[in-house]
Structure 1
């Protein structure tokens, strides 16, 4: 079995000294500056085309996960604040829904152009409040903008159907209509892209929205709201609100207020179940993109180097803080040692530190609770026989939210990492023997968001892709997100799809119209 204890010790020392040098350099610099400071919105939310505080005047603080220093504060909206916001959105909906698809397309396109023009500032805000390296943040801004572009192109192409009737003389057709005012609840790990992926289709079909920004990362969504205002989005169509301590009551208002006709939520399975229960009182339309436990399978006929690159991209993107990260890496026994050695060598080259520092590949986790969970998973795996090949420890010298990129070998299904989403920079490698065995283990999870596998056997490719119980499959790739692709899961990973042709239907209802007496008029 691949151990390489010496690699673990030497790489740990190298990583630590590099991190200390980076931290010393960065600590002497000032806070990041924006080219356009007006994009940084403190203590106000965007409601009905105006920037307003919470009615109570209360705010909450947001801290830089890399330095723990205060960034700023945002309004603590209450349920009554949200209710007023929903009223404004409902008023706006009545006129916005009647714009033509081409008119809505132009608005989304202008918003897209403004996001692209302000990409550098948006990336700075993402790195500042989320912690991901600046290069990753810039990639997110591009990804986020592309949803506006994609759905701006879909807006003029919303079609109904004509249906042959079984009743002589009748004519049947359908109309696609906007569902109404939508409540959008988004997570902190992609503070720009998770919002645009929901707002894009909603506006394309004619809905108005109330967006609950994440308490950890509110400044990026508020900057997007400023750009929406500049793009000429009619007042009340896009509303962005914030809350931290009041998150539960805000969520309850969004899910129980009868004016809200659709809820779209990205987050944990537990919270998704709660929101679904709350929505049942008014039978809202729902889209839920919930937790994952993605299997990443490498068969012995795979291109090992390609599989290593795919695993690196999938597992360590945003320091493992994505819902589609490879959470269980299964490697067939015949290539296990080779894969583990090459994989660890790649991870050894990572540079951890503040995302604004040049050359940094991986930043901090979002908060100390995330660090504690990652550490618990590593310690649990160690206690049950796993070997820490690389990393495995917190990095308090950098800050309270840093953890070493970690590789574990000798993983088994008895360990917590096999059943819980780690959401951190820890890769556990599980050996397996047969295709039937690994597919069975992969499918034992109650969630099914994404899955990946690497193989050069064409028959196996089709067979395994069909048998994996997930909503999305990556074959010989570790990156599957694309505005053109339907994003979503099965089982307890939720339902509904975001992005793509299918994503626009999540914000529509189908109205059927039947004309009678057509045959009689023709006879006369």
Structure 2
């Protein structure tokens, strides 16, 4: 899951949220009148928790204990723009200190048997499910998303913790291989931790994309120095606290906070492996920094994801799926759908149903279930969404639903928006919006739909809808994307933790989940023992006879179908 707002090595921190400068400190801006025909709003019920109830000084002091930072910074909530907490801010020297502590701790952690390391993940799994209300409040306050969308992060983290908690010993255990000469050559593959992983995590999924990515690194015996986005740091800090309670040595997970252009390059400079989730532009810079040091890197970057609704799709289910696909977390999801292709024979029916569902979506900012969509996270996101929609309309696109900011709900709310008639050179046609905006296009046959879906340098996620599962899977296999979901938006692929998830093309390098998601945090080592005779002339064989013997042996091994 990535963002189009730059994070990591090439970005500035999120600016102060709108409303913060036009109202007294800690106060919400005066609400504007709601549009008469706009999306309905879910108002907070009496007694609903507020930011002040959740983010107490005691909580902040507890979570920031042990965080390396000699300066001070702060984060804010998108719901109102008010400050949530004062936080430690790291300097480049603090980053060096964090890596030194992590390296010392990693050597001890790597000696812990893998089953015991994996058991920490299983205990963490239980703590997260038991205390999920706490982290749901933090995720909502820091990102502005609806509670149901925050719960997706809880589900994703729990699934990953269970998967690697159960499977890590098998993934990492010694593996026997056939040697060059069977019986004479014994070969064992070992998996060794890389050392200290440098992780740069974005703001849009602060629980899943912080600890969710770190879990396999810990299971593999690594330490982690993580730079979460400052605006969503409390969520990552809460995750660290639970991992420590579950049995992770505190020094094994170091967190540093600060401006991306200052702290990001320092993390890359000292890491033994780099894990980055963020924009494609910043990802290229991270990759260049890692390559200069000859260390490995995994990158999950941007996307301009397509959804294909085939002629035989269940229109009602596809319309409901499109709402999830396009507007989860207000579209601030790297695997969200921004291009929607519908077969011309069902386009009118689909668009009518999709628009009706979109217009009925409830907006809200309460720390409770009930809202269908929350807020954008920052002013830059709001400006991008507004610019894309206004430019498209000025060049001939039609608004089918939405298309307006909603300051009556909060300073960064924008209605879920459907556009039709989008075409180049409109920015929304090719650039990642990373907001609640989708463009709908019509196609006449499946070959055209596949060609349109693939007409982008990105290749992260896609969705195909058909009543015929075989047809849907066949079309999915032709789409150039790392995950393609059939009759679902993104959760089926992302939630299947045994299967790899990642991007093609400009959407990144490497994979999370499955074997690839943990083995990337290891170095492969081959131990080969030669027995009885060397791989050289012996037992009286001269060079020519040895060469003839090996030639006959290779032919025999092929005939015996030995690999």
Change (3 A) 1:172 1:485: closer
Instruction: Identify the range of structure 1 (361-370 vs 477-486) with the bigger mean alpha-carbon deviation.
Output: 477-486
Taking the aligned partners of 2:63 and 2:515, their CA distance within structure 1 comes to: 35
CA deviations on 1:28-68 (whole Å, 9 max, x unpaired) are: 9743534x9688325974xxxx524622xx22221110111
Change (3 A) 1:235 1:359: closer
Is 1:31 the equivalent of 2:51? yes
The CA distance in 1 between the partners of 2:68 and 2:63, in whole Å, is: 4
| CA–CA distance in structure 1, aligned partners of residues 90 and 62 of structure 2 | 10
1:291 to 2:315 alignment: no
Q: Which residue of 1 aligns with 2:278?
A: 267
Contact 2:148 2:369 in 1 (8 A): no
Structure-1 separation of matches of 2:88 and 2:516:
35
Secondary structure of the residue aligned to 2:298 is strand
Q: Hey, what does 2:235 align to over in structure 1? A: 220
Aligned position for 1:497: 511
Question: Is residue 304–residue 337 contact of structure 2 (8 Å, CA) maintained in 1?
Answer: yes
Contact 2:398 2:419 in 1 (8 A): yes
1:3: which partner in 2? Answer: none
Distance 1:106 1:30, change over 3 A: closer
Q: 1:28 to 1:156 in 2, by over 3 A?
A: closer
| Alignment deviations for residues 74-117 of structure 1 (CA, whole Å, 9 cap, x no partner) | 22111110111001111111111111111112222222222222
> Distance in 1 between the 2:342 and 2:59 partners?
46
Residue in structure 1 matching 2:255, options 234, 240, 245: 240
Asked if 2 retains the 8 angstrom alpha-carbon contact of 1:93 and 1:208, the reply is yes
Separation of aligned partners in 2, 1:89 and 1:347 = 47
Q: Distance in 2 between matches of 1:29 and 1:99?
A: 41
Pick from 192, 203, 223: which aligns with 2:218? Answer: 203
**Deviating 4+ runs (over 4 angstroms):** 25-30, 36-39, 42-45
SS of the equivalent of 1:51 reads: coil
Which secondary structure does the structure 2 equivalent of 1:13 belong to? coil
Contact 1:472–1:487 (CA under 8 A) maintained in structure 2: yes
Residues 1:72 and 2:85 are matched in the alignment: yes
Aligned to 1:5: none
Could you say if the C-alpha distance between residues 134 and 248 of structure 1 is closer, same or farther in structure 2, counting changes exceeding 3 Å? same
TM-score (norm 1): 0.89
1:282 Cα deviation after fit = 1.3
TM (norm. structure 2) is 0.83
Give the corresponding residue for 1:329: 340
Q: Structure 1: 5+ residue runs without aligned partners?
A: 1-10
The answer on whether the counterparts of 2:391 and 2:427 sit within 8 Å (CA) in structure 1 is yes
* CA separation of 1:44 and 1:308: change in aligned 2, threshold 3 A: closer
- The one of 14, 17, 22 aligned to 2:43: 22
| Equivalent residue, structure 2, for 1:340 | 351
- Structure 1 residue matching 2:297: 3-state secondary structure: strand
Separation in structure 1 between the aligned mates of residue 83 and residue 189 of structure 2, nearest angstrom: 53
How much has 1:140 moved relative to structure 2? Answer: 1.9
Deviation at 1:132, TM superposition (A): 0.9
CA RMSD of aligned residues (A): 2.5
**Residue 126 (1) aligns with residue 149 (2):** no
Q: Determine whether 1:141 maps to 2:154.
A: yes
Identify which range, 446-455 or 397-406, moves more after superposition: 397-406
Distance 1:510 1:67, change over 3 A: same
- Mean alpha-carbon deviation: is it higher for 203-212 or for 459-468? 459-468
Please state if 1:40 is matched with 2:63. Answer: no
CA distance in structure 1 between the aligned counterparts of 2:405 and 2:378, rounded to whole angstroms: 13
- Cα deviation digits, residues 313-363 of structure 1 (max 9, x gap): 111111111000011001111111111000011111111121426622111
Do residues 507 (structure 1) and 530 (structure 2) align? no
Checking the alignment, whether the CA contact within 8 Å between 2:48 and 2:368 is kept in structure 1 is: no
* Bigger Rg, which one: 2
- What residue is the counterpart of 1:373 in the other structure? 384
Cα distance 1:394–1:517, how it changes in 2: closer, same or farther (>3 A)? same
2:508 counterpart of 1:485: no
**What corresponds to 2:108 in structure 1?**
95
In the TM superposition, residue 398 of structure 1 has moved relative to its aligned partner by: 2.6
3-state SS of paired residue (2:273): strand
Q: How many corresponding residue pairs?
A: 499
